[in-house]
Structure 1
Amino acid sequence: MSIRRFGVTLAIVVVTGGSGLPAVAQMTVFDPSNYSQNLLTAARTLQQVNNQILSLQNEAQMLINQARHLTGLPYSSLQELQQSIGRTRQLLGQAQNIAYDVQQIDQAFSTTYAPASANQSDHALIANAQARWQNSVAGLQDALRTQAAVVGNLDTIRTEMSALVDASQSAAGALEAAQAGNQLLALQAQQLSDLTATIAAQGRAQNLEAAARVAAQDQGREQLRRFLTSNQGYRPSTVRMFHE
């Protein structure tokens, strides 16, 4: 067989799969198209893996951010605020004589501050006048005590406000910032509560004093009437102011 015919026969065998030759005679044929397709598939697979890795990184970062946003504020001023409000409420609850109670006020204005009448004895008029004076003094004292307590709360307010502002500025997440903001609002509410207590105590003292003046004027008119209508009447007499 000539070399040419052998080459043609070998080419036919290779094209048909080389089934007619022994294993030793088979040859590996490089297919550029198949290689390109495999390379493209591998590149796409690598891109998908990279995308999945990036997606997992984003999800992990999102979870970290969520955890950071859900982190609670480590500082709380609730106890200090409750103690300040408790002190102010305790002073208001310790109001002397006529307290912040509608029934006590109505009872006082139907007895001690009631208009003087002819049926009352001189002893009763004097006793009511003394009770009104005591109520006015007690009201002024309560107002001063309340004002002193409110002024004492200013140091606590200043300390807590500074701590809350620092905590809000260094907050790592939304929850910390929100909680710091809520506590600042609670601090402002406590200040408004102290201001309300001060106004109430001062108003109580002023109203008691005004009511005492009105009652004293009415009692003065009744005592003058009794003096002028007395059985003995008024008898002028000579009075020596200086001894000769």
Structure 2
Amino acid sequence: MNMSLYRRAALAGLVTIATLPAGAVIAPASAQVGGIVHDPRNYAQNILTAARTLEQINNQIKQLQNQATSLVNEARNLQSLPVSTLQELQGQVDRTRELLGQAQRVAFDVGDIQKTFDARYRGSALTGPQAALVANAEARWNDSVGAFQDAMKVQAGVVTNMGGARQTIATLVTASQSATGALQAAQAGNQLLALQSQQLGDLAAAIAAQGRAEMLDAARAAAAEAEGRERFRRFRKGN
């Protein structure tokens, strides 16, 4: 009897398996190992969550690294140039101005020039007594000689400044090439522009001194011609 029931149950199981579709596998939703229930789906979900968390942490680390790099770059951009040539440039400008201020007899001043021309280059200076004519002619000659001497001094000063400018250029170019930030590069560029302005100032001073000498010499020649006409008129009148 028991053997008959066992056979029937086995037969029923075989029939059930036989009726399943081909390739179908019966898998348990969970397995019990040593009394612990293991759920594969829950385990996979936990692995995916951990991976996403790790990715977020890595992204936060990268953001912090980028922020740190940005702060370092900003600090570099705010660093001042350790080299300053302003004092040297100002000294060169002051030397040129001092040479211009040493102008002999006729200074670089509108009022002084006006008084000098009224006294020695026109009007009564060319029609006065003989002694006055001689004195004024000598004064005009001294004006011309002094002006040319002043021009040569200014030109010599400009040439002297060129030596300092060469050293300044080398210093600033080296500083600009080794600049670590935008501020240092901009400051080096500004100092190079200041040097260029100083050199233009020297050039303007040399041109002004040379032009002053040439104008005084031309005025002397014109006054001498006018004086010669006056002398000739007096000579004819005396005859």
Establish whether TM, by shorter chain, passes 0.5. yes
Partner of 1:77: 85
Change (3 A) 1:202 1:29: same
Superposition deviation, residue 201 in structure 1: 0.4
TM-score normalised by L of structure 1: 0.80
Question: Could you say which structure has the higher helix fraction?
Answer: 2
Instruction: Verify the 8 A CA contact 2:143 2:216 in the aligned structure 1.
Output: yes
Which segments of structure 1 move beyond 3 Å, counting only runs of 4 or more?
A: 115-119
1:142 aligns with 2:150: yes
SS of 1:229 mapped into structure 2: helix
For 1:196 and 1:35, how far apart are their aligned partners in 2?
Answer: 87
Superposition deviation, residue 219 in structure 1: 0.8
- In the TM superposition, 1:210-221 aligns within 5 A as 210-221=218-229
Partner of 2:57: 49
SS of 2:37 mapped into structure 1: coil
Instruction: Verify the 8 A CA contact 2:127 2:227 in the aligned structure 1.
Output: no
Change (3 A) 1:51 1:118: closer
2:129 to 106, 121, 124: 121
Structure 1 residues 171-217: Cα deviation after superposition (integer angstroms, max 9, x where no partner): 11121111111111111111111111111000100100010010011
TM-score normalised by L of structure 2: 0.82
Instruction: Verify the 8 A CA contact 1:115 1:215 in the aligned structure 2.
Output: no
Superposition deviation, residue 86 in structure 1: 0.6
For 1:118 and 1:166, how far apart are their aligned partners in 2?
Answer: 61
Give RMSD over aligned pairs.
1.7
Superposition deviation, residue 111 in structure 1: 2.0
Instruction: Verify the 8 A CA contact 2:119 2:125 in the aligned structure 1.
Output: no
Instruction: Verify the 8 A CA contact 1:71 1:173 in the aligned structure 2.
Output: yes
**Paired letter, 1:130:** E
Superposition deviation, residue 64 in structure 1: 0.7
Superposition deviation, residue 117 in structure 1: 7.2
- In the TM superposition, 1:56-205 aligns within 5 A as 56-115=64-123, 120-205=128-213
Partner of 1:18: none
Change (3 A) 1:152 1:110: same
Superposition deviation, residue 115 in structure 1: 3.9
Superposition deviation, residue 147 in structure 1: 0.6
Structure 1: runs of 5 or more not aligned: 1-26, 234-244
Aligned residues: 206
For 2:204 and 2:107, how far apart are their aligned partners in 1?
Answer: 16
Instruction: Verify the 8 A CA contact 2:125 2:133 in the aligned structure 1.
Output: no
User: Matched residues, percent identical?
Assistant: 57
Structure 2: runs of 5 or more not aligned: 1-34
